[in-house]
């Protein structure tokens, strides 16, 4: 049950159909939960009584955020698959020779360190 009135600006935020916004009164990012409306009970001679279901999301900073999805979507600054593909294509024989001398764990570690040095450190 929600005891505090929800501001109109929060109620007007686009969200899924058949949902209701509440205000839990706490000053937190999850202050305005969005609940799904699961059914309506019709009372003879009275008003219909809505039944609210589980919380399916929250209104955060004026935007509807579904549960399980972070508010901030991380995107890479740049894609650098070409360097990784190049290192893999020219290092197969080196890796097989490392497996002849070292244990598989050590060979993978050496290849990982060498690959990262080639990929991350820019040429001068």
Instruction: For residue range 95-109, list pLDDT tens digits in order.
Output: 888 888 888 888 889
pLDDT at 14: 94
Residue 80 pLDDT level (bands cut at 50, 70, 90): low
What are residue 21's phi and psi, to 5 degrees? -100, 135
What are residue 94's phi and psi, to 5 degrees? -65, -40
Q: Is 102 exposed, middle or buried (0-12, 13-18, 19+ CB in 10 A)?
A: middle
């Amino acid at each position: 049950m929600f005891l505090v009135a929800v501001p109109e600006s929060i109620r007007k935020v686009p969200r899924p159909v058949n949902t209701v916004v509440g205000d839990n009164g706490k000053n937190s990012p999850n202050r305005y939960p969005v609940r799904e409306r699961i059914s309506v009970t019709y009372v003879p001679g009275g008003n219909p009584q809505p039944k609210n279901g589980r919380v399916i999301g929250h209104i955060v900073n004026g935007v509807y955020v579904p549960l399980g999805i972070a508010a901030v979507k991380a995107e890479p600054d740049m894609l650098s698959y070409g360097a990784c593909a190049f290192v893999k294509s020219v290092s197969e024989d080196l890796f097989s020779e490392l497996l002849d001398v070292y244990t598989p764990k050590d060979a993978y570690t050496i290849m990982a360190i060498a690959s990262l040095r080639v990929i991350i450190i820019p040429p001068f």
